[in-house]
Amino acid sequence: MILRDMTEADLNVLFDIQDDDIARHMAAFTSADGGDRDRYVARFRRLLADDKIINKVILVDDEIVGSIASFVLEGDTEVTYWIRRDRWGRGIATAALAELLREVTVRPLRARVAADNAGSARVLLRNGFTRVGEETAYARARNAEITEHIYRLDEPASAG
């Protein structure tokens, strides 16, 4: 598994990865452009132009299998990731986050996960994040308010 900077040439593949109803349901908090390739590409062009956002693609055997990013939201630096559903449960997200944490050294670092997304919670816990709260928020992919768990990383995860 390796990370590399995301480019505009990656956007169609990433759209196809995220154009998955089951994965969107699990992620819960998705953008308004789900299912609309042109809006997705236009939004990501803006994100790629923002030098305050770190956008990476996740490669396994030279194939894009997901993405990972770090961004500032309301003053907090957060991380987010998306792995192609047929690659879930193989440790890819855990390894990708560990790699990103070597580059993103801002602490505290936050992440948010739908309360029923146990796999994503494990990724965060394995990388040293601690659950610090929860809130109810509207999840576009579920068209409902759901509980979201909030995680924080105060120090780099220890090797081991």
| Residues 121-143 pLDDT 10s | 999 999 999 999 999 988 888 88
Question: Tokens for 19?
Answer: 């154009």
pLDDT digits (tens, 9 = 90+) for 46-81: 999 999 999 999 999 999 999 999 999 999 999 999
Residue pair 79/70 in contact (Cβ under 8 Å)? The answer is yes
Query: Do 115 and 149 contact (CB within 8 A), yes or no?
Result: yes
What fold does the segment set 2-153 form as a domain? Aminopeptidase (3.40.630)
List, in sequence order, every beta strand (DSSP E) within the chain.
Answer: 2-5, 54-60, 63-73, 76-83, 109-114, 130-139, 144-153
User: In what helix (H) or strand (E) does residue 14 lie, and over which residues does it extend?
Assistant: helix 11-18
Helices assigned H by DSSP within 74-117: 92-103
Q: What is the domain partition of the chain in residue ranges?
A: 2-153
